[in-house]
C-alpha cells in the first residue's frame, strides 16, 4: 500500500467526526499526490458540507474531474453542492452527463435528480425519478434513501394541496359574505 493511501484512509475514516484529524491526514495525502481525485473530493466535501463554501467546493470538484472524468466518487457530492448553491441548470447538465459515465451508481445519481426536482417544487417529476432510482438500486441503503425521500415529497404534496384548498375556501367565503 502506498503512503498516500494510508493518509487517505485515515482522512476518510475520520470524516466528518474529527475534522482536525481529517484535514491533517488530507494535507499529508495531498503532499504526496496533489492530483488525487479522492483527496480533492474530500476537500470539496469539507468546503460544502462543513464550511458551506460552495464556490470553493465546486473548484475542488471541478479540479478532480479535470484530472479524471471517470472519478466516480466526485459526481454525487458535486451535484449535491450545485443543488445547495442553487445552480440548478448546471446540476441538471452534470446529472445528465454522470448518467453516461460507465460504472456510476445510477440509483444515487437519479436520487440527486429527484432532489433537484424537489427543491424546484416539481414533486411529480421527483417521484418519477425516485421510482427510476429504485429500479436501478442494487444497495439497501439506496432503497432506504428512496423510501425516506418519497415520504418527504408526498408530505410536501399534501402540504401544497392543503394550501390550495384553504385559499379556495377563503375565496368562496369572501364571495358568500358579499
Residue 163 has pLDDT above 90, yes or no: no
Say whether pLDDT at 114 is over 70.
yes
Is residue 31 located within the same domain as residue 84? yes
**Quick one: pLDDT at residue 169?**
65
**CA triplet 98, 102, 108: central angle to 5 degrees?**
50
**Sign of the CA dihedral with 115 first, then 120, 124, and 128 last:** negative
On whether both 85 and 115 belong to a single domain, the answer is no
Question: Which of 148, 76, 88, 170 has the alpha carbon at shortest distance from 122?
Answer: 88
Same domain? 41 vs 126:
no
Domain containing residue 29: 1-104
For the chain, the average pLDDT equals: 94
**Do residues 86 and 155 share a domain?**
no
Instruction: Say how many domains are in the chain.
Output: 2
Task: Find out whether 48 and 54 touch, Cβ atoms under 8 Å.
Answer: yes
Asked if 69 and 114 sit in the same domain, the reply is: no
User: Residues 71, 134: one domain?
Assistant: no
Q: 81 with 122, same domain?
A: no
DSSP state of 51: S
Cβ pair 41, 61 in contact under 8 A? yes
Question: Residue 164 — very low, low, confident or very high, per pLDDT cuts 50/70/90?
Answer: confident
CATH of the domain at 50: 1.25.40.10
pLDDT of residue 92 exceeding 70:
yes
Q: What share of the chain is helix, strand, coil (3-state, %, to 5)?
A: 80, 0, 20
List the single range of 20-29, 78-87, 117-126, 168-177 with lowest mean pLDDT: 168-177
Answer yes or no: do 100 and 117 share one domain. no
Q: Is residue 46 very low, low, confident or very high in pLDDT (cuts 50, 70, 90)?
A: very high
pLDDT computed for residue 160 by the predictor: 87
CA separation for the pair 6, 48 (Å, rounded): 24
- What's the pLDDT tens digit per position in 29-40? 999 999 999 999
Reduced to 3 states, what is the DSSP secondary structure of residue 7?
helix
Amino acid at each position: 500500500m502506498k503512503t498516500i493511501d494510508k493518509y487517505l484512509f485515515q482522512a476518510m475514516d475520520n470524516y466528518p467526526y474529527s475534522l482536525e484529524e481529517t484535514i491533517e491526514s488530507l494535507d499529508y495525502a495531498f503532499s504526496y499526490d496533489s492530483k488525487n481525485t479522492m483527496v480533492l473530493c474530500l476537500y470539496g466535501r469539507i468546503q460544502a458540507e462543513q464550511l458551506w463554501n460552495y464556490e470553493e467546493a465546486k473548484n475542488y470538484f471541478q479540479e478532480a474531474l479535470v484530472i479524471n472524468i471517470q472519478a466516480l466518487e466526485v459526481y454525487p457530492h458535486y451535484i449535491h453542492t450545485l443543488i445547495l448553491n442553487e445552480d440548478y441548470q448546471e446540476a441538471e447538465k452534470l446529472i445528465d452527463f454522470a448518467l453516461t459515465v460507465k460504472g456510476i451508481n445510477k440509483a444515487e445519481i437519479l436520487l440527486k435528480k429527484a432532489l433537484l426536482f424537489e427543491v424546484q417544487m416539481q414533486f411529480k417529476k421527483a417521484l418519477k425519478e425516485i421510482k427510476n432510482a429504485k429500479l436501478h438500486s442494487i444497495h439497501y441503503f439506496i432503497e432506504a434513501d428512496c423510501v425516506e425521500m418519497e415520504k418527504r415529497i408526498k408530505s410536501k404534496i399534501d402540504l401544497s394541496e392543503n394550501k390550495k384548498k384553504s385559499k379556495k375556501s377563503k375565496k368562496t367565503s369572501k364571495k358568500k359574505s358579499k
